[in-house]
């Protein structure tokens, strides 16, 4: 079965010459990938596999670095570097902290 990310040759509209300056959080996601990869805690092909595992509609609507952080997190869960519980608690704390700012 052709996978959703494997799109070479499919019909599509004109190339929108869109660009944006990457935001700090996007650069940090990129930095996480590089640092984890240097420490052998993540391989680029694991990252890609986890991006490819996204549902087609998520793949299309998430931004590039949203796909990346989602896939980095999946890899760290699969490898046992992080657990869902610690991530869930940390994310709730961060939201509370940010809401109080």
Q: Which of residues 28-67 bind other proteins (CB under 8 A)?
A: 28-32, 34-36, 39, 41, 43-46, 48-49, 51-52, 60-66
Least distance from C-beta 17 to other proteins, angstroms?
Answer: 5
Q: Yes or no: say if 74 and 95 are a contact pair by the CB < 8 Å rule.
A: no
Least distance from C-beta 34 to other proteins, angstroms?
Answer: 5
Figure out which of the listed residues 54, 56, 57, 94 binds other proteins, where binding follows CB under 8 A: 94
Least distance from C-beta 23 to other proteins, angstroms?
Answer: 6
Where are the alpha helices (H) located in the chain, listed in sequence order?
24-38, 44-52, 56-61, 64-79, 84-99
Give the whole-angstrom CA distance, residue 13 versus residue 86: 42
Figure out which of the listed residues 20, 84, 85, 100 binds other proteins, where binding follows CB under 8 A: 20
Give the whole-angstrom CA distance, residue 87 versus residue 94: 10
Structure tokens at 51: 């991006």
């Amino acid at each position: 079965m052709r996978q959703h990310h494997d799109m070479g040759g499919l019909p599509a509209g004109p190339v929108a010459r869109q660009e944006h300056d990457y935001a700090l959080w996007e650069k940090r996601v990129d930095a996480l990938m590089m640092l984890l990869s240097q420490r052998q805690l993540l391989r680029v092909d694991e990252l890609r596999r986890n991006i490819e595992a996204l549902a087609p509609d998520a793949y299309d609507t998430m931004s590039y670095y949203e796909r990346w952080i989602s896939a980095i997190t999946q890899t760290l869960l699969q490898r046992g570097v992080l657990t869902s519980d610690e991530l869930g608690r940390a994310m709730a704390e961060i939201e509370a902290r940010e809401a109080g700012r």
